[in-house]
Structure 1
Amino acid sequence: MKNTKLIILLVLAALIALFFAFDLQQYLSLAELKARQADFNSYYQDNPLQTLGLFFGLYILVTALSLPGAAIMTLAAGALFGLATGLVLVSFASSIGATLAFLVSRYLFQDAVQSRFGNQLGAFNRGVERDGAFYLFTLRLVPLFPFFMINLLMGLTPIKARTFYWVSQVGMLAGTAVFVNAGTQLGQLESLSGILSPAILTSFVLLGIFPLLARKLIDIVKQRRALNHFEKPAQYDYNLVAIGAGAGGLVSTYIGAAVKARVALIEKHRMGGDCLNTGCVPSKALIRSAQRVHDMREAGEVGIEGVTPEVDFERVLESVQDIIRKVEPHDSVERYSGLGVECISGTARVISPYEVEVNGERLTTRNIVIATGARPLVPEVPGLEDIPYYTSDTIWELRSHPGRLLVLGGGPIGCELSQAFARLGADVTQVLRGERLMPREDTDAVAVVAQHFEKDGIQVLTGHDMRHFETSDGQHRLICDHRGEEVAIQFDTLLLALGRTPNARGLGLEEIGVQLDKRGALQVDEYLRSNIPNIYGVGDVTGGYQFTHTAAHQAWYAAVNALFGRFRSFRVDNRVIPWCTFTAPEVARVGLNEQEATAQQVPFEVTRFHMKELDRAITEREEAGFVKVLTVPGKDRILGVTIVGAHAGELIAEYVQAMKQGLGLNKILGTIHIYPTMSEANKYAAGEWKRAHSPQKLLQWVGRYHRWMRGNQTPAKSQPAPSEKPASR
């Protein structure tokens, strides 16, 4: 068996090598076709069957060996034999050749690939067995990949050979007809002026638009296939129903109502979702209170003595609720009802792609948007069930001093709340399994934050793996493993900040066949459609960027695609997604950082500007941090930006716009920034890039010009190097 496979492989390699060694591809070109067309036509007239047979065999050989030239031969078939004969020849020859390549690939490689990667390919194999014919048909009809790759790769899958043949025969027929027809027009071309003939132009237009039409047809077939076993209502109550009244649900229904669609918004708890009630709004209110306490403690630095703040935890947390109540009207039922959104309070369940049940009533709708967000992750750790604990959802119920606060998790939520409570007087210990805070950020950014955590009295324990919780004599303890050593951490209050889990289960989605991933996140495509095309997902429930502004951003695409997708659909634009961790100093980012660019092997240059060189930062006594810009080597195109410092979340916006609009650092440098402001840091970072990329040779000639203008032909005296700090303003 092994010897047979080796012989076949060597024969194939020899044939392919001979093809290139003798430069046979020169005969498979349009120029060669036109040059020999008259001779070929004469030979065809004298030997029709022999000519057809030779062409048929050659086409099969070229396709079976995956040689370049099949597209040219398809055009040649039209030019030499006409549309009908050429189409029949190419249709069968291409399918036979493709099947031969498929069989050879299967014989030589399938066993080895499946035995080595069988576990990883299990789900894929099952999908091919179930939907392989349809998947292959889409690849044949819409040529996203070269056909020779499809032939070889499909040979490694469990799809049956006869299925592969007939699907290829049918799937390639339309595209083959378009190419053969173009060939018939090229065959009639007598001079360059003939290129402008209506027939030639029409043929090339067909070549250009065929993939678009084929893709549209595939989309229609997929949609009907996904929905054909559900009963479609004769009429609908709504054009769109959104489940979840966080940012995703609010924005999608707002847009729907704005374009005069009838929309409903279902929320089982509170309008505004996590952001308003337990996330962004309360956490930033708490951080502001903590900042005021910190400022009072540091007032001695500016000559204000005798300021010793006393923190009343109950009043602080009540003030947070006051802020929520002030923001609440922006997301209220009253406001959205006034905008034309029908707001329904209750627990929703999706019965079918067209029906949502709430409060015992079934609502019919053309489209559904799932915007149910996520919930805090609660780990399965022995003893945790016996310990009272808080999460980012429930910490706002706290009204007394937390005492020794143990925070589990080193991500944005854990870091923000750790620092806020530490500044309000809690004794905070933050425990991480990893080796540093905020693992998604660069080490230099994290180092600045870690220094401030140390000043704020936060004890950060890295490399501590949780084992179990225990309570004895009224004392709570977490037992961890730290590099093989058992460590006991005592605490009074426990806060879990270990990430969030999508809220996609329990909505009825799985029962109707909507696909969720291993984490339970709703799987959506680039148009935010699930595998059932009129059910969309936005925000945290999709498991991607878990930010309020991302959910709102996606909601626009979901609403527009749901309501107007039959005319045009828009791919969600996730190229430029910014985020900020609101510690002190803040850490804001957009695009790639150094560790991501390195991991992805993206070439980059780094430009830094330190806040300690910025006048406004000095006056504000906020000198910690920097602006770091990653650019394409030798160019000012921005790949990503990290800003560490006061108001970093505000400063990053200029770079977000620049990346979105394709503006480089030269444009930022040429933009007037008010003095003295923190935003000048962006301009000076651009100036650092410009200085590093100044044309030294040109400047030498400019220097000579200026000496000449002064009438001085001797070399100028050396000048001191310019200061790293920007000139005085």
Structure 2
Amino acid sequence: MKRIKTDILILGAGSGGLSVAAGAAQMGADVTLLEGHKMGGDCLNYGCIPSKALIASAKAAYGQRNTSAFGVADAPGKVDYAAAKDHVAEVIAQIAPVDSQERFEGLGVRVIREYGRFISHDEVQAGDTIIAARRIVIATGSSPLVPPIPGLEEVPYETNETLFDLREKPGHLLIVGGGPIGMEMAQAHIRLGCKVTVIEGDKALAKDDPELAAVVLDTLRDEGVEIAEGAQAAQVRGTAGAIEVEAEDGRIFKGTHLLIAVGRKANTDGLDLHLGGIRPAQNGIDVDESLRTTNRRVYAIGDVAGGMQFTHVAGYHGGVVIRSLLFGLPSKAKTAHIPWATYTDPELAQVGLTEEQARKSHGSKLEVVRFAYAHNDRAIAERRTKGMIKVMVVRGRPVGASIVGYQAGELINLWALALANKMKMSQIANMVAPYPTIGEVNKRAAGAYFSPRLFESDTVKRVVRFVQRFIP
């Protein structure tokens, strides 16, 4: 058994773990990184990157079939599903070197390709190596949650960890779960020539503003996706190519392939947290505002910390703990300024409070301003007029923004900046956006906040008439 000592030990080479490793090593700390599976974690290999690559293939196919509005004849958009998966693999391969063992060893990180488990409050065993560390960061991420649906263990199914290796185009894809992953893959597959049925026990896209989510769901239905809401899966049966999902209310859905997309579970199995004096939580590890666990030597970041499960949150958490790890300075993780996006077409994005949440928190102090894509000249030119923005404003400051439409995931960045820095609507209104751009949607939303104050105010009109008498 080998023994080593290190300043910082990181369990997991996903977004959060790699962020900490790169930052700490480059600032002079002795860093050891453990990864028993693939460098880059879920995002690179099974999540964000492959899903967006497949969505890009689907957009290309859909685009070819829908060009007549631009004066270009529609084309068949013939799909080679296996070749689309080749595209996915090529995208992963192109990005992989950034997350590779070689790159991080070049930064001075000691990389051990083993899983780790706690054997004491400051020691972790990885294979035949025991590592004693001054500080430990758990960044083990999450895995697909597979619910205990009767019959599921006997029926072949996909998760996001297997779907992107599938080479045979599904004839009819059944998707259990109507969250972001389920809806993104539903639209991608309908555009790639599959039949698709989404089976959701509650409401699809339930965490987003319902008014805006409806725009996405209506679009998917128009494209041919069957979305069955209030359909809690109660039984799965069948064999490869002939699968049935029966809902609690008796509805039966038949297809050739099954994708389980009901959520994520934190990767804590095998860590022996109790030996490290670390208390688990309902879905992950119990942490305080500084992301410290019940063992003050140990931090947990990203999905395993039990909060918002996004790659960019894991990266943000990495930045939060670096401050404490390297300099011993206090640092707290916040969530109010964290955006998220669902990459359907149209996209759906959110930061801060939704309208419903803002009304509960702020009551009559809340103002909700809206601006429709249909009034944006670039959107009209691109025939991308489906969508809108809603900004929740309290005393002149935005407390949330919800966007559905073309490039919503890009537009939400400005509002994330505004919330992170407690900006005022006047500062957004002062921005000059190039014309014509989709980005003008944000400025026009700020304008919609001030328009009633300027153009519908009797006081303003009286002042203007008075001043006009004295201007030569």
Which letter maps to 1:505?
A: D
CA 300–372 in structure 1, closer or farther in 2 if over 3 Å, else same:
same
- Write the letter of the residue equivalent to 1:328: A
CA distance in 2, matches of 1:419, 1:690: 38
Kindly state the Cα deviation for residue 456 of structure 1 after the two structures are TM-superposed. 1.3
- Helix, strand or coil: the match of 2:161? coil
C-alpha distance in structure 2 between counterparts of 1:314 and 1:473, whole Å = 18
Match of 2:441 in 1: 681
Supply the distance in 2 between the matched residues of 1:236 and 1:480 (Cα, whole angstroms).
Answer: 54
| Aligned partner of 2:217 among 436, 444, 450 | 450
- Equivalent in 312, 317, 338 of residue 577 of structure 1: 338
Counterpart selection for 2:180 from 412, 421, 437? 412
SS in 1 for 2:299: strand
What secondary structure sits across from 1:580 in the alignment? strand
Q: Match of 1:609, as an amino acid? A: F
> Who is 1:612 aligned against?
374
Cα deviation code 1:64-112 (max 9, x no counterpart): xxxxxxxxxxxxxxxxxxxxxxxxxxxxxxxxxxxxxxxxxxxxxxxxx
What SS is found at the alignment partner of 1:677? coil
Name the CA shift for 1:362/1:710 in 2 (closer, same or farther; >3 Å): closer
| Number of the residue aligned with 1:280 | 48
2:321 aligns with 558
Contact 1:236 1:366 in 2 (8 A): no
Structure 1 residue 496: deviation in Å?
0.4
Q: Secondary structure at the match of 2:280?
A: coil
Q: How does 1:301-340 map to 2 (within 5 A)?
A: 301-340=69-108
Q: After TM superposition, give the deviation of residue 385 of structure 1 in Å.
A: 1.1
The gaps in structure 1 that reach 5 residues or longer are 1-234, 712-729
Instruction: Give the number of the structure whose residues are more often strand, by fraction.
Output: 2
Question: What's the TM-score once normalised by structure 2's chain length?
Answer: 0.96
Deviation of residue 706 (structure 1)?
5.5
The 8 Å contact of residues 353 and 399 in structure 2, kept in 1 or not, is answered as yes
Deviation track 1:442-466 (CA, whole Å, cap 9, x = no partner) reads: 1110111012101210000011121
Q: Structure 1 CA distance, aligned partners of 2:98 and 2:194?
A: 33
Cα pair distance change 1:473/1:425, threshold 3 Å: closer
Give the CA deviation at 1:601: 5.4
1:621 aligns to what SS in structure 2? coil
Task: Note the C-alpha offset of 1:707.
Answer: 5.4
Are 1:642 and 2:405 matched, yes or no?
Answer: no
Q: In the alignment, which of 267, 270, 275 is matched to residue 511 of structure 1?
A: 275
Between the two proteins, what is the percent identity of the paired residues?
Answer: 37
Provide closer, same or farther for how the CA distance between residues 601 and 686 of structure 1 changes in structure 2, counting only shifts above 3 A: closer
> Aligned equivalents of 2:431 and 2:443: distance in 1?
8
Match of 1:547 in 2: 310
Q: d(CA) in 2 for partners of 1:662 and 1:488?
A: 50
> Do residues 462 (structure 1) and 225 (structure 2) align?
no
In structure 2, what residue type is equivalent to 1:555? G
How many Å apart are 1:596 and its aligned residue? 1.8
1:502 to 266, 271, 279: 266
Q: Per the alignment, in what secondary structure is the counterpart of residue 649 of structure 1?
A: helix
Read off the aligned partner of 1:624 and give its amino acid letter: K
Q: Distance in 1 between matches of 2:464 and 2:358?
A: 38
Q: Which residue of 2 aligns with 1:471?
A: 238
Aligned structure 1 segments of 4 or more residues deviating by more than 6 angstroms: none
User: Higher RCO, 1 or 2 (CA under 8 Å, sep at least 6)?
Assistant: 2
Unaligned runs of 5+ in 2: none
Aligned mate of 1:630, from 369, 383, 392: 392
The one-character-per-residue Cα deviations of 1:650-693 (angstroms, maximum 9, x if unpaired) are: 11111111111121111111111111111111000000100022
The equivalent position to 1:369 in structure 2, one of 137, 142, 150, is 137
Report the residue type matching 2:257 in the other structure. Answer: T
Does 2:207 match 1:440? yes
**Does the residue aligned with 1:476 lie in a helix, a strand or coil?**
strand
Matched, 1:536 2:299: yes
By how many angstroms is 1:475 displaced?
2.9
Equivalent residues, number: 468
3-state SS in 2 of match to 1:605: strand
Q: Are 1:470 and 1:478, in contact at CA under 8 Å, matched by a contact in 2?
A: yes
Q: Cα distance 1:515–1:296, how it changes in 2: closer, same or farther (>3 A)?
A: same
Contact 2:10 2:33 (8 Å CA) reproduced: yes
Corresponding residue for 1:258? 26
Structure 1 or 2: larger helix share?
Answer: 1
CA distance in 2, matches of 1:517, 1:473: 37
8 Å contact kept, 1:537–1:558: no
- In structure 1, the residue matched to 2:426 is 666
State the Cα distance separating 1:534 from its structure 2 match.
0.6
Rounded to whole Å, the distance in 2 between the matches of 1:237 and 1:470 is 52
Q: Give SS of 2:13's match.
A: coil
Query: Does structure 2 conserve the Cα–Cα contact (< 8 Å) formed by 1:353 and 1:368?
Result: no
SS of the residue 1:687 aligns to: helix
Do 1:629 and 1:685's aligned partners in 2 also have CA atoms closer than 8 Å?
yes
Alpha-carbon shift at residue 600 of structure 1 (Å): 4.0
Asked if structure 2 preserves the Cα contact closer than 8 Å seen for 1:253 and 1:559, the reply is: no
SS at match of 2:434: coil
Q: Distance in 1 between matches of 2:171 and 2:433?
A: 45
Give the Cα separation in 1 of the matches to 2:239 and 2:138: 45
Mapped partners of 1:702, 1:473: distance in 2: 75
Name which of 389, 394, 398 aligns with 2:166: 398
Quick one: distance in 2 between partners of 1:578 and 1:466?
A: 30
Tell which deviates more after alignment, 235-244 or 285-294. 235-244
Give matches, 1:63-462, under 5 Å.
237-434=5-202, 436-462=203-229
2:256 is aligned with what amino acid? D
Contact 2:241 / 2:257 at 8 angstroms: preserved in 1? Answer: no
**Alpha-carbon displacement from aligned partner over 1:226-275 (angstroms, at most 9, x marks no partner):** xxxxxxxxx97210010000011001111111210000111001110000
Contact 1:407/1:497 (CA < 8 Å) preserved in 2?
yes
Match of 1:375, SS? strand
Distance 1:378 1:306 in 2: 41
Structure 1 counterpart of 2:87, one-letter code:
S
Instruction: Give the Cα separation in 2 of the matches to 1:692 and 1:708.
Output: 24
1:363: how far off? Answer: 1.2
Give distance in 2, aligned partners of 1:284 and 1:469. Answer: 29
Residue 304 (structure 1) shift: 1.4
Q: What SS does the corresponding residue of 1:627 show, helix, strand or coil?
A: strand
Q: For 1:587-645, what per-residue CA distance to the aligned partner results, in whole angstroms no more than 9, with x for missing partners?
A: 1111000122234455411000000000111111111111110001xx22011001111
Q: Distance in 1 between matches of 2:276 and 2:102?
A: 33
Partners of 2:23 and 2:280 lie apart in 1 by 26
Question: 1:476: how far off?
Answer: 1.8
The CA distance in 2 between the partners of 1:524 and 1:236, in whole Å, is: 27
Q: CA deviation at 1:431?
A: 0.6
